Amino acid sequence: MLFADKLPAVDLCSRTFLSDMSELHQPTKLNRQGERRTSRRSLLRGSAVVGGLSTLAGRFPFLRFTLADMLKQAGDHPAEIKMQSKIHVCVIGAGAFGGWTALYLLRRGARVTLLDAWGPGNSRASSGGETRVIRGTYGSNQPYTKMVVRALQLWTEHEKRWNRQLLHRTGVLWMAARGDDEYERGSLPLLREAGIPYEELSAAELEKRWPQINLEDVRWGIYEPQNGFLTARIACQAVLEGFLSEGGEYRQAAVASHDFERGRWDALALSDGSKVTADHYVFACGPWLGKLFPATIGDRVRPTKQDVFFFGTPAGDDRFSEKKLPVWADHRDRFIYGIPGSDGRGFKVADDTRGPEFDPTSGEREPSADGLRAIREYLGFRFPALKNAPLLESRVCQYENSPDNNFIIDRHPNSERVWLVGGGSGHGFKHGPALGEMVAELVMEGKDADPLFRLERFGR
Ligand SMILES: Cc1cc2nc3c(=O)[nH]c(=O)nc-3n(C[C@H](O)[C@H](O)[C@H](O)COP(=O)(O)OP(=O)(O)OC[C@H]3O[C@@H](n4cnc5c(N)ncnc54)[C@H](O)[C@@H]3O)c2cc1C
């Protein structure tokens, strides 16, 4: 029993069989529990492997039971043999996209290894920082308003499950300035259709409710009372904790640079010299995706520098706290938004206009002096009481923009086993749980993503 001392019999048998079989027919089909389903045709094609195993069983009697079981199953169910080993998925990137995807893969029965170079919601990641807006107003002709409904359900469900607050329902106010309000008008039917509660408010009504805002230029607004903001870094860490508590494996390690484009590689080499071998790989590397896949993604994910500022409010004045002011967005020639309060960190204000290109690994995270000047000017105009407010903190994050601002969810063109997930384009965070649920289904059920998210839209 030389082998049995080191490896349980069943393990040796199924591992040998499965690794060879998976080469023969890809992608492997999975049932709801994440077990592999192997068709009879594939079984026949794999008969050489079975034959080899039979010989092995002849030499090592402890293998016989497992082989007999497998062949009996084939007789009972001619179309398929159920293999009891779990499919192994490696998710690279523990940000909003990767973390939730890993969690949902686990819940679909996969064995999941989640990797991140610096940790979930780290300061280089697009999911880092304090807060993110969650809103349903998204313009016309897009799938995101509907996705927000599912995301909201899941955020709420997980708050209860994990007994911690991640979602602050402060309300979200959209101010439509004079001129073009097509975006806001186009949002209304989708909000209605999705069942997201909202109010359409005139400038006079806005002024009555929020006198601390100077409404010059604003014609009307949309108020979503049940939306608001999410914690960012903290939520990513909560997802990891949830993932670990449900049996996931996490390693803080970077995927070493490698020719991933080739498609056919056996194992993922990590920066610490170790390797991970899985059945499927999901690369959810946010702004790094273009560097890892220069031919398939390249500048289809373009990281841009985004400055975020936190200003100090007057002492004892709570008009700019989340109790008195919702999350707001001001749609004029530029699109500026803010989150009040931010857990005592100050009044958060940022410009959504895409900044200069930015390297997420080596970029110095210092906001530009021009950006600060412009934001100060804006603040004094729209919130006159904050005219000379001091800057308390600032952050530099990066958007990971796809050319059309839609997400990228697809298999790699050279490998059915490799999935690319990213292109959050400055609006992905809120969708994390809904996206993770969707990607897990695609991977485990062998389905294709919606054409809107697929690479073929770029002509690749
Ligand atoms: C300033 C700012 C404001 C935003 N505001 C909003 C908002 O209000 N609402 C909203 O919904 N969205 C918003 N977004 C967008 C949203 O935050 C992103 O779309 C989303 O967080 C992207 O998540 P991700 O998981 O794709 O990427 P990331 O969070 O960047 O995660 C990728 C992970 O991959 C890891 N990684 C990279 N390379 C490797 C490697 N080689 N090996 C191992 N790990 C690796 C990184 O460490 C990182 O943790 C904002 C973004 C920014 C920057």
Amino acid type, 449: A
* Nearest residue to 460 (alpha-carbon basis) of 267, 241, 300, 310: 300
3-state helix, strand, coil in the chain (%, to 5): 40, 25, 35
Ligand 1 pocket residue status of 140, Cβ below 6 Å: no
37-45 long-range contacts (CB < 8 A, ≥24 apart) are 37/80, 37/81, 37/82, 37/83, 38/80, 38/81, 38/83, 39/79, 39/80, 40/74, 40/78, 40/79, 40/80, 43/74, 43/81
Q: What does the domain layout of the chain look like in residue ranges? A: 2-79, 88-123+233-301+404-458, 157-231+306-398
CA dist 387 → 248, 318, 341 (Å): 49, 16, 17
Same fold, 88-123+233-301+404-458 and 157-231+306-398: no
Pairwise CA distance, residues 79 & 376, whole Å: 68
Expressed in angstroms and rounded, the spacing between residue 459 Cα and the centre of ligand 1 is 25
Q: State the Cα–Cα distance between residues 168 and 80, nearest whole angstrom.
A: 48
Contact 285, 92 (CB under 8 A): yes
Distance 5 CA to ligand 1 centre (A): 45
Nearest CA to ligand 1 atom 42: 254
Selection from 148, 159, 143, 231 nearest residue 196 by Cα? 148
User: Which stretches of 97-171 are assigned E, i.e. beta strand?
Assistant: 111-116, 131-134, 167-168
Instruction: Write phi, then psi, for 293 (nearest 5 degrees).
Output: -125, 75
CATH architecture, range 88-123+233-301+404-458: 3-Layer(bba) Sandwich (3.50)
Counting every residue written for the chain, the total comes to 460
- Which residues in 195-301 belong to E strands, given as ranges? 199-202, 218-224, 228-231, 249-252, 268-269, 275-276, 280-283
Q: Are 18 and 35 in contact (CB under 8 A)?
A: no
Residue 127 C-alpha to ligand 1 middle, in angstroms?
A: 4
Structural contact between residues 247 and 265, judged by C-beta atoms closer than 8 angstroms: no
| Ligand 1 mean position, distance from CA 125 (Å) | 5
Q: What gap in Å lies between CA 219 and CA 393, rounded to an integer? A: 32
Whole-model pTM: value is: 0.85
In Å, how far from its chain's centre is CA 370? 32
Does the Cβ of 92 fall within 6 Å of ligand 1? Answer: yes
* CB of residue 101 inside a 6 A radius of ligand 1: no
Closest to 185 (Cα-Cα) out of 171, 198, 195, 172: 198
Determine contact, residues 138/190, Cβ cutoff 8 Å: yes
Rounded to the nearest angstrom, the distance between the alpha carbon of 232 and the centre of ligand 1 is: 10
| 93 alpha carbon – ligand 1 mean position (Å) | 9
Q: Is the CB of 306 under 6 A from ligand 1?
A: yes
HSE value, Cβ hemisphere, 13 Å, CA-based, for 25: 19
Please say whether the beta carbons of 256 and 270 come within 8 A. Answer: yes
Pair of tokens at residue 221: 């607004």
**What H or E segment, with its residue span, contains residue 432?**
helix 432-445
Element (H, E) at 44: helix 40-45
* pLDDT tens-place values along the chain, 460 residues long: 222 322 233 332 333 222 322 332 344 444 445 555 444 334 333 333 333 343 334 334 333 334 444 444 444 444 444 445 899 999 999 999 999 999 999 999 999 999 999 999 999 999 999 999 999 999 999 999 999 999 999 999 999 999 999 999 999 999 998 778 999 999 999 999 999 999 999 999 999 999 999 999 999 999 999 999 999 999 999 999 999 999 999 999 999 877 888 877 789 999 999 999 999 999 999 999 999 999 999 999 999 999 999 999 999 999 999 999 999 999 988 999 999 977 789 999 999 999 999 999 999 999 999 999 999 999 999 999 999 999 999 999 999 999 999 999 999 999 999 999 999 999 999 999 999 999 999 999 999 999 999 999 998 5
d(CA 160, CA 323): 22
In three-state secondary structure terms, 264 is: coil
Of 114, 285, 418, the residue with max ligand 1 atoms within 8 A of its CB, to mutate for a pocket test, comes to 285
Measuring CA to CA, which residue among 75, 78, 103, 76 is closest to residue 89? 103
Topology, domain 157-231+306-398: D-Amino Acid Oxidase; Chain A, domain 2 (3.30.9)
Nearest to 132 by CA among 36, 15, 65, 228: 228
